[in-house]
Structure formats: structure tokens, C-alpha cells
Amino acid sequence: MPKRGETAARILAAAREIVRATGPDSLTFDAVAAEVGVSKQAVLYWYPNKARLIEALVRPALEAESTAGKGAISKNATSAEAIRAFIGALATFHTSDLDRFRLMYVTPQIGQRPGRNGQMLTTLGRIHPATTEMYDTLADRLVDSGRYARLVDARRAAAAMHTALLGLILRMAMADALNAPLRTRDDALVEALVGVMAPEAA
């Protein structure tokens, strides 16, 4: 008999494999149950709706991303050094595992709309704190180094930098999925992004 939590771990492993092998559209309770070899009701026992399943899949990855971004920023870094380190660390984090990137930033968008009971909104509220902490860490450094006078402006800049990088990684992930490499090397594209965000660091 499986130990408590073992079935939940197997469900998550199966869900990750389904997303990796056949894409986010294929992530259904029936598909997960078939992959694990349990009933659909057994899956629903652990994850009563798709929002909870996606949260369980995505939150650890978002927390790991946040750790990578925060850990790259030195307390004494100039703003340009902090931006370069932030973008570089997150680029490395995502390009090292494009399947994880798809899981994090594509899967939550598939077939999900905030319902009347607010399931998706509640889920997003639980997974956003890690990203918020990452933005705050970079924003604090940008203010302390004198790049921005107001924390609110620095935080917007941090969010914009992260979003721009995610757009770039999305292009890389699409090229990878289509087996059609981009004309420009991945590292050159990341370097170009750093040049746009912090020209003095280029």
C-alpha cells in the first residue's frame, strides 16, 4: 500500500511527463489517472481541480526561479552589474530546462479562466509571492545604487526586465519545439537583452 503522499508525488510526476511529452493541452485528469494507473477519483482526491494541480506543478519551479534570480544579485553590485547578473542567472535557469519553462509559463494558460468561485485567482495568489520577492530584491538594489529614486519605479523595471527575458526564452522554446534553431545564438540574444536593459554593462 502506498505511503501517504506517495500517490500525490506520482500524480505530479505523471502530469509533468504528460506536459513534456505531448504538451499542456493534453493535461487532463483522465490522462494523469491513466499514466499513474489509478482512478480519476484518486487524482481528484489529491488535486480537486485543475487549478490546484497546476499550482502544485508550477509553484516549486517559480520558487526555484526566484531563488536563482535573488541569489545572483550581490549586495554591493552596481545597477548594471545587478541587471546583468539577474538576466544571466534567469537565462541560464530557463535554457537549462526548456520543458520546465513550458511547464511554468505555458501550462497555466491552457484552458484556464478565472471561474465564478475564483479558483484560478486564488491559485495565482498563492504562487505569486516568490516572483514578488525576486522583483523586490532587484528593485532594492536598483534604488540603493541610485538608478531609480522610487522603489515603485524600480519594481516596475524589474518586472519589465523579467517579462522581456521570458519573451526571449519563449522564442527559444518555440524554436526548440520546432527543431528550427534561431539564426542568432541563444547567448548572443541574452547579451543583446542585457545591452538594452543596461547599456553600460554591455
CATH top-level class for 58-201?
A: mainly alpha
| Least confident range of 2-16, 99-113, 146-160 | 99-113
Is residue 178 a contact partner of residue 185, using CB atoms and an 8 Å limit?
no
* pLDDT tens for each residue of 67-103: 999 999 999 999 999 999 999 999 999 999 988 898 8
* pLDDT tens for each residue of 27-66: 899 999 999 999 999 999 999 988 888 888 888 999 999 9
Round to whole Å and give the CA distance between 169 and 111. 22
* pLDDT tens for each residue of 19-31: 888 877 788 999 9
What integer best gives the mean pLDDT of the chain?
A: 86
- Percent share of the chain, pLDDT over 90: 59
On whether the 1-48 domain is CATH 1.10.10.60, my answer is: yes
- List the chain domain ranges: 1-48, 58-201
Round to whole Å and give the CA distance between 7 and 184. 44
Round to whole Å and give the CA distance between 184 and 28. 36
The helix, strand and coil proportions of the chain, stated in percent and rounded to the nearest 5, come to 75, 0, 25
* pLDDT tens for each residue of 154-164: 999 999 999 99
pTM over 0.85: no
Our CA angle for 92, 180, 18, nearest 5°, is 70
